[in-house]
Amino acid sequence: MKDGNDLAFRCIYNRYWKRLIAYTYNILNDKGLAEDVLQDVFTNIWIKRKEINVTSLENYLFVSVRNKSISQFRKMKFTTVDNEIIHGLNLSEESSDVIEMNDLKHSIKIALEDLPSRCKEIFYMSRYENYTNEEIAEHFNITKRTVENQLSLALKHVRGNLKKIWSTIPSILFYFIG
């Protein structure tokens, strides 16, 4: 794509568009604005394709869309009615926790997609299927120490990606809280 291959660009667009539009719509709750945000993000990627150095395209796209959506959200002016609606929402701490947990799970899933397949499988077996390290070692016919090393690598990778993804959260909260 860096060399101007529009076929590669179209493949990226077609692969991620549906998920990105749903994600953006959930943030903005306006289909037209969501489409505008995606158009802006993909246009910027095409324009800056030679300068962009991305290790995880999916993470880059979702973070770009989220940031652009927040920027768009800031530009929208709230009316008295909008403020009344917002203050009328009764979001319990529990629903907020569920939303945060779903966001965290999604972020972890995105981070795991970059891992080699065996490392990813070991992580899933350990963390989601509750296999012991011994059981995983036996399943893959590898040593327990190799399993531990793979889990350590996976956790470092996930933590690093979560730090990148979630580092913008305090600034977002500051904007909304004041």
Domains of the chain: 1-78 (1.10.1740.10), 92-178 (1.10.10.10)
Each residue's pLDDT tens digit, 104-148: 777 778 878 888 889 889 988 988 888 999 999 999 999 999 999
Distance (Å, rounded) from C-alpha 127 to C-alpha 133?
Answer: 11
| CA dist., res. 174 & res. 167, Å (int) | 13
* Token output for 99: 């939303």
Q: Give the pLDDT confidence score for residue 138 in this predicted structure.
A: 94
Summarize pLDDT for 87-98 with one digit per residue, the tens.
Answer: 665 554 555 566
pTM of the model: 0.42
